């Protein structure tokens, strides 16, 4: 079985070398599936991630979610503590690069984690049980484990990111559902 590090390097390479048109086409299919999802439809406050490094593109999902009146948050990372906080993503709000190179809002109106109805989670790899392999900093795991068991989480992935088994440790937090294409 491959180690976490081996899986990370293989998937990062696939993300980097995937054609942009494939990324956009699959992201659109994933967006359509998400918009039809019951949990998503019910949620009023949704935390998305802002895609980078070839991840499933969330721009259109965020636009559509705002159109139907959802309050959208995105993670703001604190490198010193390797933690993250949900911050409201305002229309036309300025974004800056955060400590890990991911865009985040400049104006940081925080939302309490318990106010979230749904979290959309990125990952490098997932398995059918919802186990997730991130980029190795542990920010999402630390954040997800602070939430109520009832808070739904959905991982987004391309088909090549779904593996038969993702190696996990005690600290890894799985997602409730995965939407992929």
**H or E element at residue 34:** helix 20-36
**Can you tell me which residue has the tokens 């104006």?**
107
Task: Return the SS3 of 142.
Answer: helix
% of residues, the chain, pLDDT over 90: 80
- Does this model's pTM top 0.85? My answer is yes
The full set of domains in the chain, from first to last, is 4-180 (3.40.50.10420)
pLDDT band at 91; cut points 50, 70, 90: confident
DSSP 100: T
CA 128/CA 159 separation, integer angstroms: 11
Q: Average pLDDT, whole number, for the chain?
A: 94
Given a cut of 90, is residue 77 above it in pLDDT? Answer: no
pLDDT of residue 78: 79
- Is 83:71 a contact under the CB 8 Å cutoff? no
- Is 47:118 a contact under the CB 8 Å cutoff? yes
pLDDT of residue 66: 96
The alpha carbon of 123 is separated from its chain's Cα centroid by a whole number of angstroms, namely 6
pLDDT tens readout for residues 118-146? 999 999 999 999 999 999 888 999 999 99
**Can you tell me which residue has the tokens 């406050």?**
45
pLDDT of residue 80: 75
Phi and psi of 73, rounded to 5°?
A: -120, 160
pLDDT of residue 22: 97
Tokens of 116: 């979230």
Given a cut of 80, is residue 76 above it in pLDDT? Answer: yes
């Amino acid at each position: 079985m491959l180690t976490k590090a081996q899986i990370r390097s293989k998937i990062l390479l696939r993300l980097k070398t995937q054609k942009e048109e494939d990324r956009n086409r699959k992201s659109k299919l994933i967006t359509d599936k998400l918009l039809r999802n019951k949990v998503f439809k019910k949620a009023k406050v949704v935390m998305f991630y802002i895609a980078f490094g070839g991840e499933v593109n969330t721009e259109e999902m965020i636009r559509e979610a705002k159109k139907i009146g959802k309050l959208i948050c995105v993670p703001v990372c604190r490198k010193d503590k390797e933690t993250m906080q949900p911050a409201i993503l305002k229309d036309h709000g300025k974004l800056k690069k955060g400590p890990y190179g991911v865009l985040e809002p400049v104006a940081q109106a925080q939302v309490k984690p318990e106010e979230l109805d749904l979290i959309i989670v990125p990952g490098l790899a997932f398995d059918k049980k919802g186990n997730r392999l991130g980029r190795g900093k542990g920010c999402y795991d630390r954040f997800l484990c602070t939430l109520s068991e009832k808070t739904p989480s959905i991982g987004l992935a391309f088909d090549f990111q779904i593996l038969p088994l993702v190696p996990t440790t005690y600290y890894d937090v799985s997602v409730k559902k995965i939407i992929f294409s």
